[in-house]
Structure 1
């Protein structure tokens, strides 16, 4: 039987084209930009204690963050392994930092950065392939989970580049990706490039190798002060920091009264390198993950989580979520930009840092009072910061919300 004519469907299909000819194309991204992108929240890092505290405030996060080291070819500790197992067995997202800069294979003392650079080149040359066997076996056990593999973290020319081209790191990144791709059984692995904020372009392994770009967001990145044994610093030159507003002070390229390019000075809530990295990611078609974020010692009161610490914690939280929705100029660049869809995941380190990175009060890794990390970063211990965090989750499209 001859099919019925399909002319009405053809006319419907042509309507957008006709409208475009008559009225011009729709504004790019007009419909898509009316709502924030769907974002995920991860509980970091290292132990399930972070998950337990964060999920006492929020619904179950989308996943968590742990570390795996090249030197031993396994998890940094059994706690990391157990937390990764807890997450993966539920089909959640597991961010895994594959680290060698902290403990380079073969390091026995002396210049650790030099040994890390040498290991980076050795990785590029194909060495240490056996150190990934435990990781590959773990990934293949959990096909429902999503794995975000950071090929080392906060990578820099100091620890990862043997020359100005940084080909050592770029080639190591590609070699590790090829090794894992060749051994995994399913397509649930993504590769994260996580540089220090000032060298994101220099070490970039290329669009074909990178799935996401990671960034750390602590105090420097949000132009907030850190107190360390009485010394205040925020990661920018003193002349570029406004102590009254707790902001960075930098110029962007605007125009003068005659319409010519001119430097315009303003105060910023964000480090210019972070905004520059977000634009870089957007230009390369990559989304970003805040791979590490957490409160630091914002006050000189020995890290007590009351008084000004509460106020600074709330300000830190508001700026973190404001960064996700950023629209505006970028220091030292012309024009304004909509970067509100670049960051699609955030890892919040919900630990009591006073007891070290493992947050276990056993006296082994405790930070000294009044030092950079001497602060209780558990969200449950705050009031205004917790309220701001819950509001931020709701306003910026997170799949996890507060209870």
Structure 2
């Protein structure tokens, strides 16, 4: 499924075995079938919390923006430096949709319109100077491995000027060419990270994509979230089993007489995620869970601590269960073995109650009982942490607890 192995490429160290594991060229995927764990995002706070109870993972995740041509803030740069100086893997979300160059104000529709235009401008070769600092950083750390998401959770709303999505496909290819021409060593892989449901429409092509990324939060695992007391599971009511906390969908099977028929079944996973996994397998691309973390699972506003111990354990088990999925896919026929598609995962080990950096410095806090009012640090939950460690071992991650 993966590209040819090149033993000369810098190896990933499998600590549990005490030996070097060869990596696949251009993807850095362990050749022995094991998986990579990254801890994100934004600052060293996530790294410090996770490593307080487990051994250091394979890498971490940060963000860089096109508008300023710089890291989103010093915390991102410092975390990237920590990872790269150790020869770790660094996932970098290179973003323009959140803060498009030339956007002077307006509502989300206005920002999206400017983001679409910037996408087309990137495809035409503009803003090359905005990548100088990023490319210099890559060249400064030849032992590190960089997973570049050319924007993240890309969508037609923010990135496509027409139905063909040529604007985004051209931007992806242009940026890959720019970086490849100026990097000094083979230490960069390129990640296509779409929203669920639009992966086919925006796919830049096998020739330029190394990894396919997916975000896994609550809806992707058919779990509800709560926002100011409002319960939301991300699926139409008739397609959700409230008691079992599962999505309910039909796949194309056979009836008792062997004739084609719709078969209804409960799923732990959103159908679009499973379809994306099949798409990645069909295209020979490994997948990375590029962002994952707990959300506000409290059900009635009575728990304002943001602590999610009970539901968090189920969330962890479903996350790792996705990595070994074998079974049907909603609205499709047959069954599929998707157990080797996901080869890396980023867990956001932060206390989101205090904002995206998880630091209680008064700079930004999420409102109590809002979607993101959640403490996602594994150090806080014995059961979820135990299940996480069990998942790392069962799914053969290179850095188990």
- Superposition TM-score, scaled by structure 2 size: 0.90
Task: Show structure 1 runs of 5+ residues with no match.
Answer: 1-34
- Which among 71, 75, 85 is matched to residue 71 of structure 2? 75
8 Å CA contact retained: 2:115, 2:158: yes
Structure 2 residue aligned with 1:225: 224
Structure 2 residue aligned with 1:107: 103
Is 1:288 the counterpart of 2:316? The answer is: no
Aligned residue pair count:
366
Structure 2 residue aligned with 1:263: 262
Q: Please give the alpha-carbon distance, in whole angstroms, between the structure 2 residues aligned to 1:211 and 1:401.
A: 25
8 Å CA contact retained: 1:303, 1:376: no
Structure 2 residue aligned with 1:154: 153
Deviations 1:184-238 (A, max 9, x none): 0000100000000110111000000100000000001000000001111121112
Structure 1 residue aligned with 2:370: 371
Q: Please give the alpha-carbon distance, in whole angstroms, between the structure 2 residues aligned to 1:44 and 1:238.
A: 33
8 Å CA contact retained: 1:37, 1:396: no
Structure 2 residue aligned with 1:330: 329
- Helix, strand or coil at the partner of 1:286: coil
**Shift in Å at residue 305 of structure 1?**
5.4
**Shift in Å at residue 257 of structure 1?**
2.1
Structure 2 residue aligned with 1:121: 120
Structure 1 residue aligned with 2:18: none
8 Å CA contact retained: 1:46, 1:67: yes
RMSD, aligned α-carbons: 1.2
8 Å CA contact retained: 2:45, 2:359: no
Q: Please give the alpha-carbon distance, in whole angstroms, between the structure 2 residues aligned to 1:333 and 1:37.
A: 27
Structure 2 residue aligned with 1:24: none
Deviations 1:91-120 (A, max 9, x none): 000000000000000001121100000000
8 Å CA contact retained: 2:246, 2:268: yes
Q: Please give the alpha-carbon distance, in whole angstroms, between the structure 1 residues aligned to 2:286 and 2:323.
A: 11
**Shift in Å at residue 282 of structure 1?**
0.2
Task: Show structure 2 runs of 5+ residues with no match.
Answer: 1-30
Structure 2 residue aligned with 1:98: 94
Structure 2 residue aligned with 1:167: 166
**Shift in Å at residue 58 of structure 1?**
1.5
- Helix, strand or coil at the partner of 2:290: strand
8 Å CA contact retained: 1:324, 1:396: yes
8 Å CA contact retained: 2:313, 2:383: yes
Q: Please give the alpha-carbon distance, in whole angstroms, between the structure 2 residues aligned to 1:248 and 1:58.
A: 33
Structure 1 residue aligned with 2:62: 66
Structure 2 residue aligned with 1:55: 51
8 Å CA contact retained: 1:278, 1:288: yes
8 Å CA contact retained: 1:326, 1:338: yes
**Shift in Å at residue 363 of structure 1?**
2.2
Structure 2 residue aligned with 1:298: 297
Q: Please give the alpha-carbon distance, in whole angstroms, between the structure 2 residues aligned to 1:378 and 1:37.
A: 28
Judge which range, 196-205 or 358-367, deviates more.
358-367
**Shift in Å at residue 66 of structure 1?**
0.2
Structure 2 residue aligned with 1:345: 344
8 Å CA contact retained: 1:297, 1:303: no
8 Å CA contact retained: 2:213, 2:290: yes
Which residues in structure 2 correspond to 1:139-288 (within 5 Å)? 139-288=138-287
- Between Structure 1 and Structure 2, whose CA radius of gyration is higher? 1
8 Å CA contact retained: 2:211, 2:288: yes
Q: Please give the alpha-carbon distance, in whole angstroms, between the structure 2 residues aligned to 1:302 and 1:136.
A: 45
- Helix, strand or coil at the partner of 2:273: helix
Change (3 A) 1:354 1:305: closer
- Which among 79, 85, 93 is matched to residue 81 of structure 2? 85
**Shift in Å at residue 303 of structure 1?**
4.5
Structure 2 residue aligned with 1:37: 33
- Helix, strand or coil at the partner of 1:201: helix
Q: Please give the alpha-carbon distance, in whole angstroms, between the structure 1 residues aligned to 2:77 and 2:152.
A: 18
Judge which range, 223-232 or 292-301, deviates more.
292-301
- Superposition TM-score, scaled by structure 1 size: 0.89
Q: Please give the alpha-carbon distance, in whole angstroms, between the structure 2 residues aligned to 1:249 and 1:378.
A: 30
Is 1:310 the counterpart of 2:309? The answer is: yes
- Helix, strand or coil at the partner of 2:234: coil
**Shift in Å at residue 310 of structure 1?**
1.3
**Shift in Å at residue 362 of structure 1?**
2.1
**Shift in Å at residue 36 of structure 1?**
8.5
Q: Please give the alpha-carbon distance, in whole angstroms, between the structure 1 residues aligned to 2:62 and 2:217.
A: 18
